[in-house]
Chains A and B, each alone.
Chain A
Amino acid sequence: MKPWDMLRLSVSNLLKRKLRTVLTVLGVVIGVASIVVMVSLGLGLSRSLTEEMESFGNMTCVTVTDLSTGGFYMGEESEKKDKEKKHLDDKAIAELSQLDNVEQVTPMLTTNVICLSGAYMCNADICGVPEGYLEEQGVELEKGTYPEQNGTPEVLYGNMVVPSMYNDKTESGYFWDGRMADVDVMKDPVMFVFDTDTYYNFKGNVPSDNGKVPAMPKKHLLPATGLIAGGPDEYTQHAYTIYTDLEDLKTLLKKEFKGKAIPGQPTTASGKPYKEIYYSRLMVYAASMDDVSDLQKEIRSMGYGAESDIEWIKQSQDQMKLVEVVLGGIGAVSLLVAAIGIANTMMMSIYERTKEIGIMKVLGCDMRNIQAMFLIEAGFIGLIGGVVGLILSYIISAVINVFGAGLMEGMGMGSEMTGISYIPFWLSAIALIFAILVGMIAGFFPSLRAMKLSPLAAIRNE
């Protein structure tokens, strides 16, 4: 028998019992839709989690630190005490750039500053980055431009710098009593104090080693180039940071701390500063997320500190996968019920068509053709159910995203959510194939039965 003829016969059999076919298909529709919607919820959740993680930091990034400064990693790294601890300079950049799977190494120089504007002040990190880096990273600006190298530092404010400003006299500030600092960084002058220790000693009347209270350290007026996009509550890795150009910051720091140790910089064993200014950290970008873990280990073995979010991200992702599986499992139960429905329909169909099948066998229809026709029928139920179920899934998904978004926002979830339910193409494709497969598996035993029916049934005259 030609495949086309089998297909035609199968479809005409489905059309013969329209209501029953529709009801069986409906079962598959509900099964497919529930699986797809459930999994789409899991995927949407994991996607928004990924986006959230991206806002905290680049996921392919390994942050390389100097082990001799900052005691954060001592616990883990103490066994490497004897090892040569390397400082972060241009040699280190060259060395790290040569590693496999490294796309880019970006140096950063960070130091703590006090910003003063009118009655307001705040403590923030000023971070020197190479020109063009922020643009590359896709940091969005509320207004203004990215800082450029032009001799004296120009600064780009993170979106939460101004909210963190505090008025000493009225004891108010956005994070204290909700009153936003009355500072427009683009217009109002902001003074920067780099020698924060001296500033605090001056403010607190604390005498230094020589017994005298130090004088007010030098304040620098740094012009603003712009403001990073985001509301006062939208935390990202850039929110509290003031960015400037790396080289300009270096020049300024060298001048400011002539002969003194720059806070945060490595010192010799005797506590004396080096001549050179070392970078605070190097951002090493891996080619892909999968390389991060190995890269991190390798860099550590070279005598640097290396941190990444990869372990945390992996753990979260595993958890999300579990959620997806559980949600999919709930959906799968209804598809199982639908499969039983298909099997039942096919069995009924065989009982009804016992005589017809018998006639076909007497007239010489190959047994395998008979089986194939039943499988095609069952597969068709799955296919139609799958297609309609997918359409339904997209509708439900859209409805959830429209109505659910407001709800989630009310619950304080990210306002930048791209959607709670997310159906990628592969999910649609798998759902469709799965539906057809379920139909055919459900139809398999009925089809076997049909194939084995005795042709004598055709000749019995009832």
Chain B
Amino acid sequence: MGDNEVVIQVKNLYKIYRVGDTGVRALNGVDFKIRRGEFCAIVGTSGSGKSTLLNMLAGLEPPTKGEVIIAGEHMETKKENELVAFRRDHIGFIFQSFNLMATMDAVENVALPLTFRGMDKKERDRRARSALKLVGLSKYMDHKPTQMSGGQQQRVGVARALVLDPEIIFADEPTGNLDSKTSEDVMRLMQTLVRKKKQTLIMVTHDNHLAEYADRVFHIKDGKIIKIEEKRASEEQEKEL
């Protein structure tokens, strides 16, 4: 498995919502491939279909037509419990509103996906602690979400996505609830971590500026990808020069 292996392949994807008598095309024929280790941003305005695309990639919503192949498996043919199992084993998720469990401390929150896997408490706590260290929250291990700032909470969220060592991490407006300075911090953290761990990260955002952190930026409008920008390639070329 080289760096160039395709982990996500989307073919001719359509999603049509029925509103009254008319069908609204949230996705109108989308095709792309994402390789392992890429940090991709999907950028678009509200209603462009970017969230729908993410939902379909993560298997949270079935497509109307088309194929989504992730790590060699067809998402559109899976049943709900198979999708849940697939996410448990292959996918990490970072939410806009952090979505941490209010009654659990940072370690327990990060360890939650491992709990779902049926891992021993000792082992999952060890992994959760090292993930929290990675995001710079060594001092906040025992804090509950309410005792942390938004930025810290999202770091816990990042640690929770990383702890599984998943093939793909999805981030849905990960900085949507954060102020601009914290946003930059979180973005830099995510960028460093995925680069270091060679993790694939798909981020959805409406903010063009945040998309700058990505290797590739997919611009989406009215359910279609209108432009794909290559960033990392140029960066690396710059470094080489």
Contact = CB atoms under 8 A, between A and B. Distances in A.
Interface of A: 1-2, 5, 12, 16, 355-356, 359-369, 454-456, 458-459, 461
B58 interface: yes
A291 to B, nearest CB: 56
A16 B103 contact: yes
Given A363-B112, A364-B84, A364-B113, A356 B55 contact: no
B116 A369 contact: yes
Contact of A5 (B58, B96, B115, B172): B115
Contact of A458 (B51, B91, B95): B95
Contacts of A5: 115, 118, 121
B61 interface: yes
Nearest to B112: A363
B66 interface: no
Contacts of B160: 363
A362 B88 CA distance: 8
Interface residues of B, number: 32
A1 B113 CA distance: 10
A320 to B, nearest CB: 51
B81 A367 contact: yes
B60 A364 contact: no
A367 B115 contact: no
Contacts of B226: none
B116 A364 contact: yes
A461 B176 contact: yes
Given A456-B60, A459-B60, A459-B172, A362 B93 contact: yes
7 contacts: A1-B116, A5-B118, A363-B112, A364-B86, A364-B116, A456-B60, A461-B173
B21 to A, nearest CB: 24
Task: Give chain A's interface secondary structure class.
Answer: helix
B97 interface: yes
Given A364-B85, A364-B117, A461-B173, 9 more contacts: A16-B103, A360-B116, A361-B84, A362-B95, A363-B87, A364-B86, A366-B116, A368-B81, A459-B51
Contacts of A362: 58, 60, 87, 93, 95
B89 interface: yes
Contacts of A369: 116
B93 A356 contact: no
A355 B84 contact: no
Contacts of B116: 1, 360, 363-366, 369
A367 B84 contact: yes
B103 A461 contact: no
Nearest to A452: B80
Interface string B167-208: 000001100100000000000000000000000000000000
Given A12-B103, A364-B85, A1 B118 contact: yes
Interface in B113-140: 113, 115-118, 121
B24 interface: no
Contacts of A355: 99
Given A364-B88, A366-B81, A366-B85, A459 B115 contact: no
A356 B112 CA distance: 12
B81 A459 contact: no
Contacts of B103: 12, 16
A458 B99 contact: yes
